[in-house]
Structures are given as C-alpha cells and as structure tokens.
Chains A and B, each alone.
Chain A
Amino acid sequence: MKQKLVMIGNGMAGVNTIEQLIKLNPNKYEITIFGAEPYPNYNRILLSSVLAGDVGMKDITINDWDWYENNQIRLLTGQRVIEIDTKKQTVKSNLGAIVHYDEMIIATGSSPFMLPVPGAEREGVIAFRDIKDCETMIQTSKKYKNAVVIGGGLLGLEAARGLLNLNMNVKVVHLHDYLMERQLDEVAGKMLRSELEAQGMEFLMKKQTEQIIGKSRVSAIRFTDGHTVETDLVVMAVGIKPNVELAKEAGIAVNRGIVVDDDMRTNVPNISAVGECAEHRGIAYGLVAPLWEQGAVLSKRLAGIETAPYEGSILSTKLKISGVDVFSVGDFNEKPGTKTIRVHDEWRGIYKKFMLRENQIVGAVLYGDTSDSSKILQLVKLGSQMTEQLHAQLTGVGASPTGSSLDLVKAMNDEEIICGCNGVSKGVICSAIQNNGLTTVGQIKDCTTASRSCGGCKPLVQQLLELTNGDTGSDLVIKEGICGCTDKTRDEIVEAIRTMHLTTIKETIHVLGWKSEGGCPKCRPALNYFLSMVHPEDYEDHRDSRVANERRHANIQKDGTFSVVPRMYGGVTTPQDLRKIADVAEQFNVPLVKVTGGQRLDLLGVKKEDLPKMWEALDMPSGYAYGKSLRTVKTCVGSTFCRFGTQDAMGMGIKMEKRFERLDTPAKVKMAVSGCPRNCAEATIKDFGVVAIDGGWELHVGGNGGLKVRITDVITRVKTEEEVLEWAGAFVQYYREHANWNERTSEWVGRVGLASIQEALATEEQRHVLNARLDVTLSKVKDPWKADLEKRDELEKRYESIKAQLVGEL
C-alpha cells in the first residue's frame, strides 16, 4: 500500500521537491498538497517580469493543474492547514478536512516583513510578494502617480523597476549607504545606483521610516530625520520572515525558521521542512538556488535513495533588471587572510572583483559584464585554484583578442612566427601591410598566407593590423566576406538563400556576384552546408564541393593515403567487432592501427582503392572521423561498473551518438558523458558535455581541448536522459543555424555569449521546435559507406586509378 505524504505549502521549493520525488520513485506515496493561494505552483522570481508586462500569469506557471492531475496529486488550494497533530500524525484545515500522513513536508515559505511603524495598515501600503501585490501595483498606477519603495535590496529594486515601467515616479528608500549591501560591495553598489538613477529612479539613502501618514489611504512617509515625502503607494521590500507559526504550535523546534538537520528533518519524526521556512545551520535562505539543493536532498531521502547530506549553499545573485548586469557569489568582502583581484574600468562601466583565500577562488562580484558568471559560480562551487590562464580569462588582461593586448604583439620581435601553420613572421606581415596598404585580415591572408590554414592566429594578425595602421586601424575595419571570393558575410548569404530561395551553389555564386566563378575550398563547402541547412528536405548534396576527406569518407593523410575509422558507439565495443577489425587490418595490410582520442580504432595508411573493399569487409557504420559532423561521444564506465558512478554514462553516450551521428554541422562536434563529477570522460572540454550529478545531469557547452583550449559553460541541469537529448538536440540545431562555417562551438559560444543561447533554448517549446527541425535533417542522412557501396558502378570511377595503355610514340 502507498504511504501518505502530505505537504503544507504549494510554492516553488516544495513542489520542486515533489517533482523530483515522483521522478525518482513514482509509486511510493499518495500525495496531498495544501496551498493557500488560489493558483497552481508558479515561479515567484518572475513576478517582476509580470509587473514589467513582459509575461502573463500563464507564462510563469511552473506546474499547471494538469500536472497535479496527471501525477495523481490531490491539490487543495484556498485551504489553510491550521493544526498539526504530531502524535496521531494528522493535519487539519480551516475547512475542517483532516488528513493522515506517514511523511510530512512543511514548505510554508516566508512572508514579507512589514515594518511595524504607525500607519503601516493604511490602504496603499503593500509588499511585493505575490500575484495580488502585482495586481495592486498595476491598478494603483492607473490612478496615481507617486510610489515609494522601502528597501534597496534585490526585491525592492526589481519592484521599483516594475513601477517605473508602469510610468510611476519612483523613490527608493534605503537604510544603508549603498544598494544591495548584502549582495554587492560598495563599489558595485554605487555603480548600480548611478545606472538606476539614469533609468529614472530616485534614491533616499540612509533613511529610516518612522511613520506612514494619511487618512484612509497613504499620502506621505516621514523619516526619523524629520524629512517627509509625499506618495500614493508604499511598497515594503525590507526582507522576509519564515512562516513558522504552524510548526511552532505543533511543538516543532523553531528559531528564525523551522530547524532542520543535514537530511532536512525537523526534530519531530516523519516531519521535514524545505525552502524559505527552514533554517539550516543557522541560515534561513531567501534565494532560489539553495531551495533546489535542499529539495534534491529531501526528495532522495523520501524516495529511499542514498544521498549526500545537505551542507549549506554557496549563494549567488543576479538582478533581473534590463540594462543592469550585476552578479555576486560566495564571500566577496575583504577579510583578513584574503587576497583581492580587482578590475575597475570606469569608462566602460565594468567592475570585477575576485576574492582568493590561499589562492582558492571563494567569491566574486561582477558589474557591467557578467558574461563569465556561470563559469565563476562553478569555480567557486568547486573551490578552484586561481591560475595564470584563469586570471587572464577572468580579468581580460593578457588573453583578450582585442585592444588591451596590443602591447603584447608590440613587444614581439620581427622574427617571431605569428602563423605557425604557414610559417609567417611578424615582420613579413607588418611589411606586407605597409607596402601593400592592406586593411583586412583577409587581404593579409591572400598576400602572406598567414591565418589561411587553421585560423588560430587571426586575433594576432588583427592586432598586427591595428598596430601597423595605428589609430586609423579601427576606421579601416571593412566588412569581411566569408572568403576571398566574396564580400558577403555568413549572415547575408544565409539570409539570401532563405529569402531568394536559392537552391544550388552555382545559383548562389551567380546571384550574389562572386568574384571567382567556381568558388574556393572555403566557400564551396560552406555554401553546400548552408543550402542543406536551409533546405534540408530538398537540397541534394553537392559532392564536388566537399573537401577531400568528406568526398572520400576517409581522412586523407600526408602521403595521400587514407584512414578508416568505424563507429564504436560511446567507445563501447565487443570481441566480435574487435576480431572483425583485426581481420580486416590483416587482410588489407594496414600499416598502423591506433586507438584514437575519441575512444575508437583508426586504421591508417589505407590506399584509396582499398577503401570501399574495407568498408564492405568491416560492415560497420562510418565513424565520420573525417567530417564536419558528430565525431564521437566519449564516455566513462559510469554506474555500470564504476564504484563512484551515479548514472549510466555509457548508455547515455550511446543514445547521444546514435541520435546525432551523420549530421552535418558547421564544424566538427565532439561530445562526452561522465558518470560522476570526477569527469573521467573530460566532458568539460567538449562541444557538448554531460556530467552526471546527484539526481540528474549537468549539461555543458562550448568546450574545446584542441587548438584553443576552452572550458565549457554550464547551460543547464536536467533530471532525465530524455531531457539531456532534448537539450543536446536543441543546442546542436541552434548551433547549426547560427554559427559561421568552420566555427567550433567554443568560438561560437564565446562570440555570441552563453546568455543568448540560453535564451533561445529557454522554454520546452523552443527546444521542441529546434528538435523538430533537426529531425527533418536527420531523417535524410544515410551511412556514406553503405551508400557508396550501393552504387557499384560508380565505385571504380570514384576510388580506383586508371592503368594507361601505350598508344605510340609522338
């Protein structure tokens, strides 16, 4: 028989716990939830967006009525629990319902703290906490003009911004001498104030409210310094207090919040607490991230799954006000024994501070540029050490491809090699720029070959251009086409293909006025890709426009021989397959067999004419080791054998490799799945990496372990394998539709910013639409080895040489 689980409270923390619990163990409990608000669970942190008019109530609902019904959860809204009988294990509601529980969760949340000043009960004095408050603000703004927000913290400022959007005059009253003092340091707090003043907020700092004046409705506020301000609306956002009365009356231990241990248990058997009502190790949290972490521990324990204890959270904050980018994490205030790295650029309005304790990164504050926030959050959580490279990345000193490091190229000798692939020195590049009046990297490439091969030196070449052309450099930046054949950029070309419905390479080259009639090895493969990406259903692949590797479905080697790499999904093989590979290697006298970095076997030194015969003998799918396509999904052993593994990494990896194999992408794509945060599959340097965490998966994007090493950004965390595939598919398709040709995800994510990608993938609907388009393309792919073998009469033409016959003397 199912046990009875009762939850008091229908907010984010509680319902998230239930949601995870159902996923972990769907049949263990019969669940009843009491909710005082007459709504299903909604995302309270998006209330400011409702106020701003960006979204409606429907958009911020997390679990709609159907969700409760589908999961057979009894939801009793509009009913308050008024009594808990811990002996009989029952709860009683204000409508008289009595429900028995085997396990109970108290998730009563918190209430806004209302200042106990005279007049606080007047009409027009509200908090900013729920839908009703939002509605009051919207109604008030239609009749009245002036608003005062008490409290210059996170919530107060978001409320103030919302009121500005409603065209009210907004004054923010704050006790402290700078804003958000709990989340920011003084420098960032003051920068924030000037920005918000520029947006139209007024600030009354170091003021304490004494009285709210008015008849039935508020008309003014008086402060302790005697100063008064007229107003029609007062929004109190001075803090929250955990809702503990019910627990207290039932005899459960309570301080500021309901006291819980590391397993989220209260002192009374079978009663747990989670979220803003709970106090753990002396802290009652008011931000969302800790609530998820608590819920993860609680749901596992209730599901009967072993879990690490909850040991507290590292706090991070982001303010949701457009035009303002602030972020903080961990311990960001100077203390004895800490070292500070500070970058303060008043001209750009950027401030970054990193706190180190014995070289470990323990906290940070960012203002103006928060693009690294997810990375920094990870670094602080992992307790990472500061390194030269990290320092350069985080502070932008030394590694930036733009202006700031011109000094670096300036200091180089003329003999120093800039382009390692083609051996071009600084001196050669600079004199070419001067002698020929070059103004673009493309021209330098055509003139000196620098940056022609891998492109890794492009930023340096760009800097040399700026250095040599001096101040005029920036004026001379001319739009650069995708190759020497055209001035058109990638976006212009794709747009033209879409709007003018161009269907072949020849047509595209003709219509867009290419300078060279036949194109080149840069633009032809790019056009071939763009056309198939835009018209996946009817574009026919143009094989002549593929580079040698893709045309022969094998990697060309320096001596003109090729290599053959069959698929080995997730790096998992069988004795039979290994035997087959060994037999084929012997049969064709393959000179070298090598284990690749992507966990499979490479047969090297194969003659071109042997390729089809080997494919036939192998009878295995092509591994696409030669293609701009999914290469491999590297995996660790995961929970199948490893004593640390928490998830089935191999199974996940094989599913991913099977879903995305054969897909054309702008550049090669590598993936990996690690079964625990030890990350043996090195997923954090892959284009798409998956790392198992407690109760789910952490999804990483934009990593690269090759030419330019880049650590991934965490794009999201999900719970199920289906969600991993959904996110991976959406990410890959979005990349396919937006990246430049030959641009790895690492460069692309760095260029467009993680936030823009997260935004494009934010909702389930967006992800489904992307996956649907991906499916169209995937429905057309075929194994290229099999496809070639099917065209027997073409094989000789494609792969074999001609033995010439002597005709006679001339």
Chain B
Amino acid sequence: MNGSTSNAVGIEICAGPFDELPENIGRLLVYENHQIALFRLGDNKIRAIANQCPHKQGPLVDGLVSGDFVFCPLHDWKIHMGNGVVQAPDVGCVHSYPAVVKDGNVFVSLPESL
C-alpha cells in the first residue's frame, strides 16, 4: 500500500462486530476504493466478495442469498460466494476475499495487488 516498503502480500482490515451483520442479507464494506460485499450466512459463516457482478456491474450486496450462492439483483447471475465463480450457463468470476471471525470481530484480507 502507499508508502509500504515491506514484502507484505497484502493487508488485513477489520469490519467490526460480527453481530452487526444481518443474517443472509449483504452489507457493504468500504476501504479506500475497495467495495466489498460481506455476507453472514445462516450457519454463522462469513463470506466476502467484490461488490460487482462481472455481467453489468450489479451490486452483489443486494443479491438474494441461497446457501453458498448469491444471485445478482440485476439479472440473476448465480455466483459462488466462496470462490467467486459464476455458475453456468453464465461464465466469469468475481474476486473473493479470505474472511474470518476472531473474538466476535470480522477480519478481511486484501491482497497487495489490488
């Protein structure tokens, strides 16, 4: 990142308390110019993907959540929230970010190259 001289592969950001996330409804996480769709799933898992559908840049954060998938609200593209892969018959991929819950807070890793 700016001014960084280390060999770091990326940075870690905190999205605040896990409890502040509504279940199965996305919430937008903003860091500098990153727009990340955060999802708290039914089984208390956390998922983070870029908030932009590869089709027409639809805001995935507003999509309908079904299991490990989110459907883009604009044209129903189906995207796996774990690996970001768009499901057939459509093709494509969105960036997915590693996300974890530690001591009740949510942490997301951003790779340096982004």
Contacts and interface: CB of A to CB of B under 8 A. Distances in A.
A520 B79 CA distance: 12
B92 interface: no
Contacts, number: 119
Given A452-B76, A524-B64, A808 B25 contact: no
Interface string B88-113: 11100000000000000001110000
Nearest to A518: B66
A806 to B, nearest CB: 6
Contact of A798 (B22, B67, B69): B22
A544 B8 contact: no
Interface string A775-810: 000000000000000000010111001111111111
Contacts of A403: none
A560 B58 contact: yes
Given A544-B65, A560-B58, A802 B25 contact: no
A447 B90 CA distance: 9
A437 B13 CA distance: 49
A520 B71 contact: yes
A127 interface: no
Contacts of A801: 27-30
A810 B22 contact: no
A806 B67 contact: no
A446 B88 CA distance: 8
Contacts of B107: 807
Contacts of B14: 804-807
Given A518-B65, A809-B6, A446 B20 contact: no
Interface residues of B, number: 49
B19 to A, nearest CB: 9
B1 to A, nearest CB: 8
A803 B67 CA distance: 26
Given A797-B27, A798-B22, A801-B29, A517 B62 contact: no
Contacts of B90: 449
B85 interface: no
For A797, A808, A809, which residue has the most chain B Cβ atoms within 10 angstroms?
A: A809
Contacts of A452: 76
A552 B28 CA distance: 14
For A518, A545, A548, A797, which residue has the most chain B Cβ atoms within 10 angstroms?
A: A548
Interface in B23-81: 23-25, 27-31, 34, 36, 38, 56-59, 62-67, 69, 71, 73-76, 78
Interface string B3-20: 010101111111110001
A781 to B, nearest CB: 22
Nearest to A448: B89
Contacts of B59: 556, 560
Contacts of A543: 25
A548 to B, nearest CB: 4
Nearest to B106: A802
Contact of B76 (A517, A519, A521, A556): A521
A551 interface: yes
Contact of A544 (B24, B28, B31, B75): B24
A516 B74 contact: no
A194 interface: no
Which secondary structure dominates chain A's binding surface? mixed
Given A545-B64, A801-B29, A810 B73 contact: no
Contact of B25 (A448, A559, A798, A807): A798
B97 to A, nearest CB: 11
Nearest to B90: A449
A446 B76 CA distance: 12
Contacts of A524: 64, 66
A453 interface: yes
Contacts of B62: 548, 551-552, 556, 560
By Cβ-Cβ distance, the 6 closest A-B pairs, closest first, are: A518-B66, A560-B59, A801-B28, A548-B73, A518-B67, A809-B8
Interface of A: 421-422, 446-449, 452-453, 516-521, 524, 543-545, 547-549, 551-552, 556, 558-560, 608, 794, 796-798, 801-810
Given A548-B63, A798-B25, A806-B14, 18 more contacts: A446-B88, A446-B89, A449-B89, A453-B75, A518-B66, A518-B69, A524-B66, A544-B64, A556-B73, A556-B74, A558-B56, A608-B28, A804-B29, A804-B34, A805-B13, A806-B13, A809-B10, A810-B8
22 contacts: A446-B89, A449-B90, A518-B67, A520-B71, A520-B76, A521-B76, A544-B64, A547-B64, A548-B64, A560-B59, A797-B27, A802-B28, A802-B38, A804-B13, A804-B14, A805-B13, A805-B16, A808-B12, A809-B1, A809-B10, A810-B12, A810-B109
Interface of B: 1, 4, 6, 8-16, 20-25, 27-31, 34, 36, 38, 56-59, 62-67, 69, 71, 73-76, 78, 88-90, 107-109
